[in-house]
Amino acid sequence: MPARAPLPAGNGRPVKAKRVSSARERAQTCSLLPTSAPRLREAALLAVDAALLAGVLMRTQEEPDASEMVNYAPFTLLPSAVPKALFEQAYAVQQDFNLLVDAVSQNREFLERTLASTIKVDDFTARLFRIYTQVLEEGLAQSVFLGINRSDYMIDCAVDGTPALKQIEINTIAASFGGLTSRTPAVHRQVLKVLGKTEEASRLVTNNPSQGLALGIAKAWELYGSQSAVVMFLVERVQRNIFDQRCVENELWNRNIRVIRRRFRDVFEKGSLDDARRLYIDGQEVAVVYYREGYVPQNYDPQNWEARLLLERSRAVKCPDIATQLAGTKKVQQELTRPGMLERLLPGRAASVARIRETFTGLYSLDLGEEGDKVAAKAIAAPDHFVLKPQREGGGNNLYGEELRHVLEKIKDSPERTSYILMDKIKPQPSKNYLLRPHSPLKVSECISELGIFGVYVRQGKEMVMNKAAGHLLRTKAIEHADGGVAAGVAVLDTPYLV
């Protein structure tokens, strides 16, 4: 039987320190590479067929709304090495991050103070914030809260070569690829077996985020308290990644929970609230709204903003509610690294605070004033040491190197700079792999990987009724690409090979 993923700690006890693998051990992935060209081509052909058989699928760019034309989602030929101790650390801290996100979402004073400068210059965040304050002033109808987030990390080797787990960001809305990554380990397991690496194949951890995400949605649906109500996936107009969503959707159907798929425009045209603020679409009561859009300005026009307000005013469980979406902004991430902030938000949870803080890298405010002036000057002088991050989700938005310098020089004396934060650039150790994409040549690439851990929590009133790590996502890209995920066409799906 394949080895199971290590369980998250989740019991409040500190995680025992473990030896982190050496560079030599991490390089074991290289030994998995086929040594002959014929064997390489054979392995790649088999890998593609295995992906198609397993359902690692996306719609094509040419027909993004039609499932008659599909191809495999891009993935690595071989699994990539991840230090076991850091993999377990990422799992162990996920429940702590779930508690932190939930605490931030309930702290109006913190959100108002933290986002005060951002909403003056970032219209998208400002519009979200206006809905947030309007709903609070009206009084929340929602009593059950569902969080599905994904905390993303890279393994930093910058200081002395000792690998360290460092958080890049936490995604609190539309965290994707929980479905397809549930099916990727079977593909890599098959490839390794064909290459005669049976023992290595047995070391790949099992992974089923789609089941874990569905468990959270199902619990929220149950606590809502209406057997006839539906779960609504709020989806984008163009849905290339529909099979990723269908994996979660099918888990719900298997639990006899009805699922509908609608867009913002459908909500605007056909949505309504009754006197108890129950949400209805096409005459169907909606228990849970699971957002798979709504995270970038392009998702909104005036009618869509009206639809978002209607949803937020309703009794339905929103995943996320708008406060939780704001909790995932980059400015909040930066503010959480300030001394004493975690202790204020998670009082009496010293072990959780310690686990969270260990994953932090340097994050800096660019607010106007002496502190922000010094940070901006430092980044302009050494742009390769930093990443400039706007308040945006979805990949492909960050700025690096000379582009970072150019933008900061342009806005260094402007309030516009407060719409960004600055982060120390994480420097992972590259490894070799083959990135399989439709219609692309087979060639070896120097690659870096990003590990994401899915977290799910459900709160009813003040009681936390579910809090778990729900699985992981490994994405790998060639080192020449500074930014971008799988949906953006840069990274590919991968599987951890623990060393």
Q: What is the pLDDT of residues 192-247, one digit of tens each?
A: 999 999 999 999 999 999 999 999 999 999 999 999 999 999 999 999 999 999 99
Q: Which pLDDT value is given to residue 118?
A: 95
Q: Is 67 a catalytic residue?
A: no
Annotated catalytic residue 149 = no
Tokens at 202, concatenated: 């047995």
Nearest Cα residue to 51 out of 314, 497, 433, 435: 435
How far apart are alpha carbons 104 and 100 in whole angstroms? 6
Q: Are strands 463-478 and 492-494 parallel, antiparallel or unpaired?
A: antiparallel
Which position among 392, 393, 433, 459 bears the catalytic label? 393
d(CA 407, CA 395): 18
Residues 6+ apart with CB under 8 A from 493: 56, 73, 74, 75, 76, 177, 180, 181, 184, 473, 474, 475, 486
Catalytic residue among 10, 362, 394, 489: 394
Omega before 339 cis (within 30°)? no
Q: Of residues 26, 150, 183, 392, which has the active-site annotation?
A: 150
Q: What is the pTM for the complete model shown?
A: 0.93
Catalytic residue among 71, 149, 171, 433: 171
Give the number of other Cβ atoms within 10 Å of residue 381's Cβ. 9
Active-site residue (options: 176, 207, 208, 352): 176
Residues 86/165, Cβ–Cβ less than 8 Å: yes
User: For this structure, is 137 an active site residue?
Assistant: no
Give catalytic status of residue 171 as yes or no. Answer: yes
Residue 264 confidence (pLDDT): 98
Q: In angstroms, rounded to a whole number, what is the distance separating the alpha carbons of residues 414 and 136?
A: 32
- Catalytic-labelled residue, pool 330, 331, 459, 477: 330
At residue 5, the pLDDT reads 39
Catalytic site residue 433? no
One of 308, 313, 475, 477 is an active-site residue; which one? 475
Q: How far apart are CA 307 and CA 274, in angstroms?
A: 15
Domain boundaries, the chain: 23-361+426-498
219 included as an active-site residue: no
Active site includes 394? yes
Amino acid at 150: R
The pLDDT, as a whole number, for residue 393 is 79
Select which of 389, 392, 468, 477 is catalytic. Answer: 389
Which parts of the chain have pLDDT scores under 70?
1-31, 35, 158-159, 394-395, 483-485, 487-488
For the chain, how many residues are written?
499
Name the catalytic one among 88, 169, 249, 293.
169
